[in-house]
Chains A and B, each alone.
Chain A
Amino acid sequence: GAVVSQHPSRVICKSGTSVKIECRSLDFQATTMFWYRQFPKQSLMLMATSNEGSKATYEQGVEKDKFLINHASLTLSTLTVTSAHPEDSSFYICSANLAGLNEQFFGPGTRLTVL
């Protein structure tokens, strides 16, 4: 149980385009989902906390207009990287919090490469 999926697993796009990444909790309801970014040889960095039905809370230094987060249901959150640039190339990981528990379950990650 407690499986989190991400789609796509890998995406390559041209500079200036927008990319949408999906995060799904497959067998549980997640009131809170988290989005992380991980650069090579570094640990995960929290970008934003997403609560179902409300606006996401962004960490300091993360542009909310660039990284659009939608958490429309208890099993799906999406991260859209708008007008992507090469510096946005990174490994994006989501996690889902099992309602009522202080436990995050991580997705397998999405590798974004912006040319």
Chain B
Amino acid sequence: KNQVEQSPQSLIILEGKNCTLQCNYTVSPFSNLRWYKQDTGRGPVSLTIMTFSENTKSNGRYTATLDADTKQSSLHITASQLSDSASYICVVSALSGTYKYIFGTGTRLKVLA
């Protein structure tokens, strides 16, 4: 069964600190993996996208890694800001004729001043 699991479920950090969010997946055959940021009451916004052959992708203070062998990904946030408070969702696409996304459970991040 295609699944995407994330940890931790929630996280609280102080402003300026770094943090790393984890994503494990069992989707096969794998096409690509995306990290999204979702502010409360808003739609998801794409942060990074990685294909099978990519190990790392950066977008400003966000750096995503991918290990296709162990089927794990991480999202590292550097020098966190209050505006980083949001849910972060790992989404995996399978190689198929449809464009369906398989969503992770999400990590709720709270950055405190």
A residues contacting B by CB (< 8 A) are 4, 6, 32, 34, 41-46, 49, 91, 93, 95, 97, 102-104, 106-109, 111
Contact = CB atoms under 8 A, between A and B. Distances in A.
Contacts of A4: 43
A92 to B, nearest CB: 10
Given A91-B41, A108-B42, A109-B41, A43 B99 contact: no
B78 interface: no
A28 to B, nearest CB: 14
A32 B100 CA distance: 10
B105 interface: yes
Contacts of B100: 34, 46, 49
Mostly, the A contact residues are strand
15 contacts: A4-B43, A6-B43, A32-B99, A34-B100, A41-B108, A44-B44, A44-B89, A49-B100, A91-B41, A93-B43, A102-B32, A102-B99, A106-B45, A109-B41, A111-B41
A109 B99 contact: no
B103 interface: yes
A4 B43 CA distance: 10
Contacts of B93: 102
Nearest to A57: B98
